[in-house]
Amino acid sequence: MKSIKLLILFICFILPINLTACKSTNNADIKPVKSNKDISINMTIEDKDATKVIYEFYKLVVEKKPDEYTKLYTKEYRKLLMDKNVKDDIKYIKSATIKDVKFLKNMPQEKGTQEYKVEIDLQYEGVPEDLKPIAISGERRLFIILKFEDGRWKIASIGTGP
């Protein structure tokens, strides 16, 4: 019997006060949350700005501008290449003709990244003996992962397999 009286008391007095408080909330007080593109970018939808980085990168490679094309690498990728003292074939590319760039929407994308399959024709010149096994002129398929860093897309890796 005592619990019924408490329930009635709650319904008659406490509930209306709570509802009145909720009703008086001004929607103007609610501020929209600002999103950071680094965090919120939807990785399942291709960002057309991302593919521009791939074209820009190979243009700078062919123009022999290493100071500029290395700025298109993520900080982590640049550090990895320097720390490992990786000898790559990039500086020996004479020409690069991109045939096709496809966003791999069915590949699992890490937050803030996009992966692309790139069909490219690379022509080399002046390749040293130790790089000749990998620096072979002709068409090849590359997989390039781009990462959104410092407000723009940058190259996080270039490889021959997904």
Reply yes or no on whether the pLDDT at 37 is more than 80.
no
- If 0-12 CB within 10 Å is exposed, 13-18 middle and 19+ buried, where does residue 118 land? buried
**Mean per-residue pLDDT, 130-143:** 92
Which residue from 40, 52, 16 is spatially nearest to 111, judged by alpha carbons? 40
- If 0-12 CB within 10 Å is exposed, 13-18 middle and 19+ buried, where does residue 4 land? exposed
- Pairwise pLDDT comparison (85 vs 120), residue with the higher score: 120
pLDDT of 112: 83
Residues 72 and 58: their CA atoms lie apart, in Å, by 10
pLDDT of 128: 92
Place of tokens 């003996």: 129
Is residue 88 within a helix (H) or strand (E), and if so which, with residue range?
none
Given pLDDT bands bounded at 50, 70 and 90, which one contains residue 91?
Answer: confident
**Mean per-residue pLDDT, 141-151:** 93
Reply yes or no on whether the pLDDT at 139 is more than 80.
yes
Rounded to two decimals, the pTM is 0.69
